[in-house]
């Protein structure tokens, strides 16, 4: 290991941290640490936390237009406190992002925007309706236009349409961006969003009903249900984008039908998805680094090797190095997601129905198809890393103070939040099977297995995608000849479509990993990352071995050889662990997990208060 090289700086070019100034990074770390110290309540560090963060952030319009900076904030906040990350995401990306991106005249909302930007008022986003929480294709909350008052009347028709959001906060005023179906002269004009004040001085405003807390222990926040009973919304609070209602009460939305309007309303998903993979990758790195350090410090008392570090055991090496390899893969994917989000084309949805993406299961995938897949794959990757780390560290792994359970809760929450992952994979598989008709003729053969080649796994998984897609298209063609359509056509093959969507995610991830390794100039770090890429490939091949065998992409002998190759990679990577940890570790002060300390028990004890009886 070349000790003269700071590998955290080199690796920071992959994470995007190196593109932000040291002063900016330090200010963010300090603000998050202050929020952790000054807040007594664990559920989201509201109030003072938002104000502290606002003090170190640029103006929101500048922030939301800078994918790299938004990703840095997402990563640091998710690592420091997953619950607070959810609050920040909803406040900045979804609420303020909707207001600044879709308000017809933002200057008319200047005072409310200022309060939100300075953290004096908490912003939330409301699209989920508790009775139909997965898809959002049929939003039932309505906003009826009154042509006399030129106001909108917001109503929740029944309990199933109640909005679910983190609205239980009573220590600061709240405003919400509420997605509702606009009705003009009783005509359905599509789903728009409206800026609605919910509370002031700790109490709901007229026409707003807030439920008692709805506990979600996986990711603790002050969740609750919200219903609206004739809330009056001024015309300027309608986030109308390019639509308008003239003085005669006639609705105009040129170039949009209801589907494309729904996609425009949910366009904030682009900023969410371009930054969320960085949050998932940051949490995965933090979890994997903590697990590696704890495994190196903790002494084993088994009789094979008394007082040897836990990390000498092969199963522990495989789990820890596997978690680090997946964290690296997720970091490479986050790099690509940031790049996609920064492209000008990614910031503009089609201007009319002719360019609207199809929506079979959910509107979210249609907003940004590639970024939707990155959202889903990064969430599932973090879940695997956090689960492995929790399992391998016993009792300390279950302690909240060591953050593994919080990271796992974050991943579980986003399995549904921000677009349901299963629906994303259904939609992605259906779209892939529909590209180019029903005739697949290209033959795609993978490269021979070579685990020191970062491109090998891409070659293999591309071949797998080809064969899974070809099988699905043949089955669809057979069913179409039987005059099947709609649900009759697709229902028997939905699991196949989901598998195709998941394999496609692996194709994207494999390409990201190989390209990232190729862009590393430092020869030592490149060699280590190449081995991490190989470790990731072997573990994924083991996980998909049944599918690889069934699709005849990989033979039985090659599958049987995977454990031996994984062991060889462990032997190559174990001596390089200090370099890997230096490269991947979070900034100092961002986390406070006692497991990162060599004396874990002492570090834990110092965090606790003690009630001591009299000495005997």
pLDDT, tens digit (0-9, with 9 covering 90-100), for 548-560: 999 999 899 999 9
Residue matched to tokens 């004890």: 605
Distances in Å between the Cα of 178 and the Cα atoms of 125, 232, 233, 365 are 6, 13, 11, 20
Q: Answer whether residue 300 shows pLDDT above 50.
A: yes
In angstroms, how far apart are the furthest CA atoms of the chain? 87
The DSSP 8-state label assigned to residue 348 in this structure reads: -
At 437 the pLDDT is: 46
DSSP 3-state assignment of 127?
Answer: coil
Closest by Cα among 235, 167, 179 to 205: 167
Who's near 32: CB < 8 A, 6+ residues apart? 52, 53, 76, 77, 80, 81, 84, 590
Give yes or no for residue 486 having a pLDDT over 70.
Answer: yes
Confidence of residue 3 (pLDDT cuts 50, 70, 90): low
CA-to-CA dists, residue 23 to 20, 47, 283, angstroms: 8, 24, 22
Helix (H, G, I), strand (E, B) or coil at 154: strand
Digit-coded pLDDT (tens) for 180-216:
999 999 999 999 999 999 999 779 999 999 999 898 8
Query: How many angstroms separate the CA atoms of 128 and 158, rounded?
Result: 14
Spatial contact of 276 and 75, defined as CB atoms under 8 Å apart: no
For residue 521, which phi and psi values (nearest 5 degrees)?
A: -85, -35
DSSP letters, 247-306, are TTS-EE-TT--HHHHHHHHTTTHHHHHHHHHHHHHHHHHHHHHHHHHHHHHSBP--TTST
| Distance (Å, whole) CA 472 – CA 496 | 7
Q: Quick count: other Cβ atoms within 10 Å of Cβ 128?
A: 18
| 385, two tokens | 């890393």
Residue 106 scores a pLDDT above 70: yes
- The span from the CA of 96 to the CA of 116, in Å, is 7
**339: pLDDT confidence band, cut at 50, 70 and 90?**
very high
Tokens 């081995």 sit at which residue? 531
- pLDDT band at residue 179 using 50, 70 and 90 as cut-offs: very high
DSSP state of 16: S
H/E segment holding residue 200: strand 187-200
Question: Is residue 241 helix, strand or coil?
Answer: coil
**What confidence tier does 217 reach under pLDDT thresholds 50, 70, 90?**
confident
- Cβ(113)–Cβ(96) under 8 Å? yes
Q: Does 439 score more than 50 pLDDT?
A: no
Number of other residues whose CB lies within 10 A of the CB of residue 486: 8
Please report how the helices 421-434 and 494-518 are oriented relative to each other, as an axis angle in degrees rounded to 10. Answer: 90
1 Cα distance to chain centroid? 34
Q: What are phi and psi of 68, to 5 degrees?
A: -65, -45
- Residues near 202 by beta carbon (within 8 Å), at least 6 away in sequence: 170, 171
- The residues with which 23 forms a beta bridge, in sequence order, are none
Is the pLDDT at 326 greater than 70? The verdict is yes
Query: Which residue from 382, 334, 381 is spatially nearest to 513, judged by alpha carbons?
Result: 334
Percent of the chain surpassing pLDDT 90: 74
Per residue in 372-420, pLDDT tens? 999 999 999 999 999 999 999 999 999 999 999 999 999 999 999 989 9
Higher-pLDDT residue of 34, 467: 467
Q: Provide the token pair at 151.
A: 């106001």
Chain mean pLDDT for the chain: 90
CB-based contact 32:76 (threshold 8 Å): yes
Which residues are within 8 A (CB) of 204 and not within 5 positions of it... i.e. 6 or more apart? Answer: 198, 210
| Strand-strand pairing, 244-245 and 238-239 | unpaired
What is the mean predicted confidence (pLDDT) over 71-84? Answer: 95
Q: Average pLDDT of 14-24?
A: 91
> From the CA atom positions of the chain, what is the Rg in Å?
25
Overall average pLDDT of the 510-520 stretch: 96
Angstrom distance (rounded) from CA 131 to CA 541 = 39
Q: Are 257 and 357 in contact (CB under 8 A)?
A: no
What is the rounded average pLDDT of the residues 451-478? 92
DSSP single-letter state for residue 129: B
Rounded distance between C-alpha atoms, residue 269 and residue 419, angstroms: 9
Tell me the β-bridge partners of 180.
192
Burial of 169 (0-12, 13-18, 19+ CB in 10 A): buried
Cβ atoms of 338 and 71 closer than 8 Å = yes
Work out the pLDDT band at 361, boundaries 50, 70, 90: confident
- Listed residue (69, 77, 16) closest to 49, CA to CA: 77
Q: Is the dihedral of CA 489, 493, 496, 501 positive or negative?
A: positive
User: What integer pLDDT is reported at residue 416 of this predicted model?
Assistant: 92
| pLDDT at res. 303 | 85
CA dist 140 and 155 (Å) reads 9
| Residue 528 predicted with pLDDT over 90 | yes
């Amino acid at each position: 290991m070349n000790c003269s090289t700071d590998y955290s700086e080199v690796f920071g070019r992959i994470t995007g941290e190196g593109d932000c100034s040291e002063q900016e990074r330090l200010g963010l770390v300090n603000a998050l640490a202050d929020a952790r110290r000054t807040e007594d309540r664990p559920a989201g560090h509201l109030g003072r936390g938002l104000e502290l963060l606002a003090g170190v952030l640029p103006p929101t319009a500048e922030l939301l237009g800078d994918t790299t900076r938004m990703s840095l904030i997402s990563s640091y906040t998710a690592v420091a406190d997953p619950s607070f990350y959810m609050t920040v995401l909803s406040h900045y990306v979804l609420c303020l992002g909707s207001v600044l991106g879709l308000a017809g005249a933002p200057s008319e909302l200047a005072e409310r925007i200022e309060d939100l930007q300075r953290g004096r008022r908490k912003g939330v986003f409301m699209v989920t309706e508790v009775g139909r929480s997965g898809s959002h294709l049929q939003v039932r909350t309505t906003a009826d236009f009154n042509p006399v008052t030129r106001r909108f009347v917001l109503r929740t028709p029944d309990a199933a349409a109640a909005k679910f959001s983190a609205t239980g906060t009573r220590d600061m005023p709240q405003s919400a961006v509420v997605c509702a179906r606009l009705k003009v002269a009783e005509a359905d004009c599509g789903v728009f969003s409206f800026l609605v004040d919910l509370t002031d001085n700790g109490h709901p405003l007229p026409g707003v009903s807030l439920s008692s807390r709805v506990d979600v222990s996986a990711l603790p926040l002050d969740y609750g249900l919200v219903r609206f009973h004739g809330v009056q919304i001024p015309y300027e609070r309608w986030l109308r984008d390019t639509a308008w209602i003239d003085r005669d009460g006639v609705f105009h939305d040129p170039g949009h039908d209801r589907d494309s309007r729904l996609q425009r309303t949910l366009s904030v998903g682009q900023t969410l998805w371009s930054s969320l993979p960085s949050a998932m990758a940051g949490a995965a790195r933090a979890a994997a680094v903590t697990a590696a350090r704890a495994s190196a410090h903790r002494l084993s008392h088994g009789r094979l090797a008394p007082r040897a570090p836990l990390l000498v055991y092969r199963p522990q090496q495989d789990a820890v190095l596997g978690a680090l390899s997946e964290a690296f893969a997720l970091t490479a994917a986050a790099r690509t997601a940031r790049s996609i989000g920064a492209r000008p084309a990614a910031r503009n949805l089609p201007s009319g129905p002719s360019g609207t993406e199809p929506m079979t299961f959910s509107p979210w995938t249609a907003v940004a198809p590639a970024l939707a897949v990155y959202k889903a794959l990064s969430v599932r990757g973090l879940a695997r890393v956090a689960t492995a780390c929790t399992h391998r560290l016993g009792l300390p792994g279950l302690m909240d103070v060591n953050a593994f359970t919080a990271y796992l809760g974050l991943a579980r929450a986003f399995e549904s939040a921000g677009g349901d992952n299963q629906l994303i994979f259904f939609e992605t598989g259906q779209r892939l099977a529909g590209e180019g008709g029903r005739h697949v003729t290209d033959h795609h053969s993978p490269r021979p297995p070579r685990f020191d080649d970062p491109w090998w796994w891409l070659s293999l998984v591309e071949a797998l995608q080809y064969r899974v897609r070809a099988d699905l298209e043949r089955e669809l063609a057979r069913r179409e000849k039987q005059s099947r359509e709609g649900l009759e056509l697709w229902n028997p093959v939905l699991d196949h479509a989901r598998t195709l969507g998941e394999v496609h995610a692996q194709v994207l991830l494999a390409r990201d990993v190989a390209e990232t390794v190729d862009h590393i100039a430092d020869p030592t770090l490149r060699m280590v990352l190449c081995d991490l890429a190989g470790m990731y490939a072997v573990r994924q091949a083991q996980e998909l071995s049944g599918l690889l065998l069934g699709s005849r992409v990989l033979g039985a002998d090659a599958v049987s050889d995977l454990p031996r190759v994984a062991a060889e990679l462990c032997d190559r990577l174990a001596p390089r662990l200090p370099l890997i940890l230096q490269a991947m570790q979070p900034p100092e002060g961002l986390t406070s997990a006692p497991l990162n300390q060599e004396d874990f028990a002492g570090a834990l004890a110092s965090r606790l208060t003690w009630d001591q009886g009299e000495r005997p």
